[in-house]
Amino acid sequence: MMCPDPMTEDGVEPVHKPRTTMAMESIELRDGLFGPETMDRLRGLVDLDDRLLSPLDSEDAARALARTEILITSWGTPRIGAELLDRAPRLRAVVHSAGSVKWWVDPVVWQRGVLVSSAATANAQPVAEYTLAMIILAGKRVLWPASHDPRGGWNPLQQVGNYGTTIGIVGASRTGRRVIEMLAALDVDVLVYDPWVGERELAGRAERVGSLIELAERSDVLSVHAPALPATRHMIDASVLAAMREGAVLINTARGSLLDHEALRHEIQRRPLYAVLDVTDPEPLPPSDPLLSHPAVLLTPHVAGSAGNELRRLGSSAVDEVERLVGGQPLLHAVAETELAVSA
């Protein structure tokens, strides 16, 4: 697959540094993901083409792809399919410095033996941090003016707090599992609904329940971390919302399509129920949507995932994977084709 390197003057064959190219939507994104130190580390590992391939159908990109062995991608990368692979005969790995590869990588990539890696685990960390923060603040009832009046003074008997509460996790995904790990620091009970996970996989950190309805009935906070699939669309529907306890909190940091927003509009008008929505469907909601002004709903503009300095974690994770490739080690965050059907 790779051409041999020429011998040095003393007859010692130099260490091969695989030709590596980056493809993503902008230089600004590249610089946000890969700080100077991370770029220096990458250059020490590979023969890096300093050009950014965007778009991938130009003559300049064609010349670069013909030599590329490792392709580092991120948001804004065109879909990688048979046509691109035909122009990149040396390609042996796609290292994605963002979350899901589902929308970027065609199954033909695996069929041709190209390795695929993702920074989804790194991207799960800030989502889990956001979720934990919202769980704690929701328990203290400081997120919604209607539930806590700061002018009323301190009253130790008011019905707030997190001690002994029950947190329901919908989906033991990367993010869901990280949230479970973080919740171990709190005095709370943790339940999980995920038909694909068993008790043994939860390692005693959470109790698995058999249905979404049971999870809703038993939880003070219901936090959604399932993938967006045809089967999960509106999984948080009217029946699940109706089963939630009075004053319970719904948190959605996954995808807006998992929640039936019309059912939520109805339920929060009917009785005390709270919601923290970082994602919606559509996104953003139209200005006339009553959820935007409802006092029991906190909306944030899709900020739970990596942003700002958190992007550097994704770039560092991608370079870690490149280092493993160069060192002949297995990828830590390899993505298998079979995962696409059940992953985000």
* Residues annotated catalytic, as ranges: 255, 283, 302
DSSP-based three-state secondary structure for 334: strand
Range 180-219 burial, b when 16+ CB lie within 10 A, else e: bebbeebebbbbbbbeebeeeebeeebebbeebeebbbbb
- What 8-state DSSP symbol labels residue 331? P
Q: Cα–Cα–Cα angle for 194, 196, 197, nearest 5°?
A: 75
The C-alpha atoms of residue 339 and residue 184 are separated, in whole angstroms, by: 28
Alpha-helical runs (H) found in the chain: 27-33, 36-45, 59-67, 82-86, 108-111, 120-139, 174-183, 199-202, 212-218, 238-243, 261-270, 311-326
Q: How far apart are CA 79 and CA 103, in angstroms?
A: 7
Q: In what order do the strands lie in the sheet with 249-252?
A: 207-208, 189-193, 166-170, 221-224, 249-252, 274-277, 297-299
Q: At what angle do helices 120-139 and 311-326 cross, to 10 degrees?
A: 150
Q: At what angle do helices 120-139 and 174-183 cross, to 10 degrees?
A: 50
